[in-house]
Structure 1
Amino acid sequence: MPLLEISDMTVSYGRIEALHGISLSVEEGELVTLLGANGAGKSTTMRAISGLLPLTRGTVVFDGQDITRVKAHERVLRGIVQAPEGRGVFPGMTVQENLDMGCYARKFATKAEYNQRLDWVFELFPRLLERRTQVGGTMSGGEQQMVAIGRALMARPRVLLLDEPSMGLAPMIIQQIFRIISEINSQGTTVLLVEQNAQQALTRSDRAYILETGEVTRTGPGRELLADDSVKAAYLGVA
């Protein structure tokens, strides 16, 4: 049984239907990518999985339980945690305070568990340890993305939802962020990744779904899709 399973998900903004009955699944331990152009419905999908948007039709099942009507904050408590599009750091808070906000709801049983988790985040992102007392709003885009992912990890996700983590970043930083995402996944965290950067995402994905205008049009192993001529033409600019 998949850890996360979406069936016939339909989401509307007023009278406009943004998602037209999409279905996808994520097995425990997988890194799965949802790939698509702007306006394809990727962020809408993530917001619906997070509980921030209601479904017009369909179901969201997590760890064998139907959570379609479970509120967003309760999904976090169950282990569905998102690092949102646009990073969303608290600009007036320090790096340390931003990270602590990640475990505001999912508190640690002991100080030792908290310290162990924090040390892991700083091991993944040494820059954050260096900038521990720096205010989030004064950091670069890449550093803010590290804060956003680190904050999500402090909530101890069973499924980490990453929405466009490479958006607006320099190529060197993009490579670094994707290496860290692979490391997070290799250490046992299940990841659902929304991306436009096909090369970086598909290279690292177990499986991927292609989303076009609110519908899943293709699915398969990441590297298989990366080698597909139609995917190359659409997302890599290769004719």
Structure 2
Amino acid sequence: MLSDLFDHNVRWADGKRREDPDYFKRLSALQSPEYLWIGCSDSRVPANVITGLEPGEVFVHRNVANLVHRGDLNLLSVLEFAVETLEVKHIIVCGHYGCGGIRAAVDGDRHGIIDHWLQPVRDVADRHAGELAGIADPEKQQNLLCELSIKAQVESLSRTPILRSAWKRGKSLAIHGWVYGLKDGLLRDLDCGCGKSHGAPGCEEITAAAPAGREGQDD
């Protein structure tokens, strides 16, 4: 029942005020997160909960299979606001093992409009067809595809004009590719990040080498 949600909300808010009388006053005064989280819509992967961060400490954008469509005005609006107004220092693209979007992208069935959204996953699967075909276990194969897709989204994000402009102006900003395990609750760094302050090859170097005309295309 929807009334249960309101009851839970009252108990939660009362509990927070008992623990810290100024909690909501402080929270409402300022939003200054250091992190932008681009994650999957899956309800089992709440950014604040699995990272131990408080509301206000992470700015969140979620969509099915945590994809970076460079024509997605929703994502681009979030990205621009996070970079230019909130001045986040880290952008985390986080997928998760057991992702239904990853599975639906390559199961050969028709799922409706979501099939168009998931095309970048199929493109990644096509590019790595040989590597994926060498894995007999279906779960391990999908886990690898999940990781490969996250890496592709990090690269796609690094090629957006918003980030290219930010790096050109010297902003300290890094992108990271992480994956979350539903079975153990742990985050893993896929070591595919880049950008200033990361210590890895700069994304600005990657974007400078991008072929002409690629900026407006989706992976």
TM-score when scaled to structure 2?
A: 0.32
TM-score, length of structure 1 as denominator length: 0.30
Q: Which has the higher strand share?
A: 1
Larger relative contact order (C-alpha < 8 A, sep ≥ 6)?
1
When Rg is computed on C-alpha atoms for both structures, the one with the higher figure is 2
